[in-house]
């Protein structure tokens, strides 16, 4: 049996999409959550000086969160049933990363005045723009999933990137009924529900 170890900080962050893939596929792994004070010593030993890292059988180490997520989804058969569906999952994954990048701009801004302006734009313009894209994707697929007729990496990526916004701004999703139903559907799928029930509570 293959041994997987996912190394990241004790937050959801950029490792959470991989954790959701493991959960959806019901595949066990070592959830290696390191403390911030451990990072300086570990950083020089990593391939690109960043986390997350996926270690396979103690030998192969993969960096880059999206590459890790894609690899795992392909390994576990949840990235679409053919090459076109796989590409559609990639489109959604990249789109969620674009939205995440906008949130990161707000998170990292040190000037409080600029931060407030960025936050206002994020909530009033950017988030609705991307959620409309996701809503339209669901509208174009009668199955209730983002791609094909079953749960894929695309569904997990959307669920993950919406986490903070649905927590801090719960009214935002009311204007997106298909997205709201989709989010509930993913959360209530047996393997994801089991994972969420025991997932450590973190701020982000």
Question: For the segment 33-66, what is each residue's pLDDT rounded down to a tens digit?
Answer: 999 999 999 999 999 999 999 999 999 999 999 9
User: Is the domain of 66 the same as that of 87?
Assistant: no
Q: What is the total count of domains within the chain? A: 2
Residue 168, pLDDT > 90, answer no
150 assigned to some structural domain: yes
User: Is the domain of 48 the same as that of 113?
Assistant: no
Question: What does residue 102 show for φ and ψ, rounded to 5 degrees?
Answer: -70, -40
Residue 170, pLDDT > 90, answer no
User: Is the domain of 128 the same as that of 180?
Assistant: yes
134 assigned to some structural domain: yes
User: Is the domain of 53 the same as that of 31?
Assistant: yes
The pLDDT assigned to 108 comes to 92
Q: Is the peptide bond before 52 cis (omega within 30 degrees of 0)?
A: yes
Residue 95, pLDDT > 90, answer yes
204 assigned to some structural domain: no
Residue 22, pLDDT > 90, answer yes
Q: Is 35 strand, coil or helix?
A: coil
The pLDDT assigned to 165 comes to 85
User: Is the domain of 104 the same as that of 175?
Assistant: yes
Domain that holds residue 14: 4-77+192-198
44 assigned to some structural domain: yes
Indicate the range of 22-36, 71-85, 129-143, 164-178 predicted with least confidence: 164-178
Question: What does residue 55 show for φ and ψ, rounded to 5 degrees?
Answer: -110, 130
Find the mean pLDDT for residues 15-42: 97
Question: For the segment 149-166, what is each residue's pLDDT rounded down to a tens digit?
Answer: 999 999 999 999 999 888
The pLDDT assigned to 203 comes to 85
User: Is the domain of 59 the same as that of 99?
Assistant: no
Question: For the segment 180-204, what is each residue's pLDDT rounded down to a tens digit?
Answer: 999 999 999 999 999 999 999 998 8
With beta carbons less than 8 A apart as the criterion, state whether 16 and 43 touch: no
> What CATH number does the domain containing 14 carry?
3.40.30.10
User: Is the domain of 106 the same as that of 28?
Assistant: no
User: Is the domain of 91 the same as that of 116?
Assistant: yes
The pLDDT assigned to 124 comes to 94
Indicate the range of 23-27, 29-33, 127-131, 165-169 predicted with least confidence: 165-169
203 assigned to some structural domain: no
User: Is the domain of 40 the same as that of 121?
Assistant: no
* Higher pLDDT pick, 195 / 1: 195
163 assigned to some structural domain: yes
Residue 167, pLDDT > 90, answer no
User: Is the domain of 54 the same as that of 121?
Assistant: no
- Closest C-alpha among 158, 143, 140 to residue 95: 158
User: Is the domain of 38 the same as that of 59?
Assistant: yes
pLDDT above 90 covers a percentage of the chain that reads: 93
Query: Exposure of 23 by Cβ count < 10 A (0-12 exposed, 13-18 middle, 19+ buried)?
Result: buried
Which stretches of the chain are assigned E, i.e. beta strand?
A: 4-9, 30-34, 53-56, 60-63
> What CATH number does the domain containing 158 carry?
1.20.1050.10
User: Is the domain of 72 the same as that of 162?
Assistant: no
């Amino acid at each position: 049996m293959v041994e997987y170890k996912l190394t990241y900080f004790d937050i959801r962050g950029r490792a959470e999409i991989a954790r959701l893939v493991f959960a959806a596929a019901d595949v066990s792994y070592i959830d290696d959550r390191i403390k911030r004070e451990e990072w300086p010593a570990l950083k020089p030993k990593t391939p690109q000086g960043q986390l997350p890292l996926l270690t396979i059988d103690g030998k192969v180490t993969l960096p880059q969160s999206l590459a890790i997520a894609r690899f795992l989804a392909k390994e576990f058969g949840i990235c679409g049933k053919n090459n076109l569906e796989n590409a559609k999952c990639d489109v959604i994954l990249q789109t969620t990363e674009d939205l995440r990048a906008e949130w990161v701009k707000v998170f990292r801004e040190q000037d409080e005045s600029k931060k407030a302006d960025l936050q206002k734009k994020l909530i009033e313009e950017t988030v609705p723009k991307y959620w409309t894209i996701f809503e339209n994707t669901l509208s174009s697929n009668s199955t209730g999933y983002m791609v094909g007729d079953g749960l894929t990496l695309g569904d997990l990526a959307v669920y993950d990137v919406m986490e903070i916004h649905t927590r801090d701004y719960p009214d935002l999703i009311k204007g997106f009924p298909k997205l709201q139903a989709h989010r509930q559907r993913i959360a209530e799928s047996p393997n994801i529900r089991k994972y969420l029930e025991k997932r450590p509570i973190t701020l982000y």
